[in-house]
Amino acid sequence: MDGIEELRTAVCAANQALVRHGLVLCTWGNVSGIRRDAGLVAIKPSGLPYSELTPERIVVTDLSGQVVAGRLRPSSDLHTHLALYRAFPQIGGVAHSHSHYATAFAQACRALPCLGTTHADHFCGTVPVTRALRDHELAADYERNTGAVIAELFADRDPLAVPGALVAHHGPFTWGPSPAAAVTNSVVLEAVARLALDTWQLNRTAAAIDPALLDCHYQRKHGPEAYYGQRQDQ
């Protein structure tokens, strides 16, 4: 299992970053990562306190969810992560938490429009909210169906341009090229959700910004001629 120990180490660190960024209470969050070449996913074990996580305690499964390494049970949300890896071949990591503001949006069943450049710098447009699961989707394969309703939202969206979604009545899932990037997207989603809530306290009718401003900010950070940050050769 070449490279799997590096993946477990990265996944362990990304789970602990959830705590450092104030996104989790109790054990309410989990991060995973994937090795596409090996067809293996590494994920937090279920219910284990973050302070007891070590790379060896990270569970490794195949894409059907069979455990191939680790002595503990995987996160109960494993099958949501797996559904996202199958739906979004571009991604390398997934993060889930019940972070306060993003969860409030999810509970309110409200999508998060782009109200300013902070949002535009990271999410190229609205962060969508899923439909509610139907009763038969709750009754069997609940976690896999949670992934499926997220994937539905990206039929006409690029999951790397909008690297997250809100699951109705539940909370946020984010993703990215790596487990660490998935966590950063959770951090940013939480910040822009909080900004949106207070923006609406000040102006009930605040709406999505001019697409030209959205594009201007997103492209200066992520476009082919991006000039934010340092060149790789420096």
Which residues contact a second copy by CB under 8 A? 25-26, 28, 45-48, 71-73, 76, 98, 100-101, 103-110, 115-118, 121, 132-133, 135, 138-139, 142, 169-171, 184, 187-188, 191, 194-203, 206, 209-210, 212-213, 216, 220, 227-231, 234
Q: Which of 77, 80, 75 is nearest to 59 (CA)?
A: 75
Strand partners, 95: 31, 174
* Closest separation in Å from C-beta 164 to a second copy: 15
Distances, alpha carbon 34 to alpha carbons 15, 59, 165, in Å: 14, 12, 19
* Closest separation in Å from C-beta 51 to a second copy: 13
CA–CA dist 154, 95 (Å, integer):
17
CA–CA dist 127, 137 (Å, integer):
23
Residue count (the chain): 234
* Closest separation in Å from C-beta 54 to a second copy: 15
Nearer to a second copy, 130 or 155 (CB): 130
Known catalytic residue at 228: yes
Q: Answer for the pair 182, 176: CB distance below 8 angstroms, yes or no.
A: yes
Known catalytic residue at 121: yes
Nearer to a second copy, 35 or 169 (CB): 169
Catalytic residue among 121, 210, 227, 233: 121
Catalytic residues: 121, 228
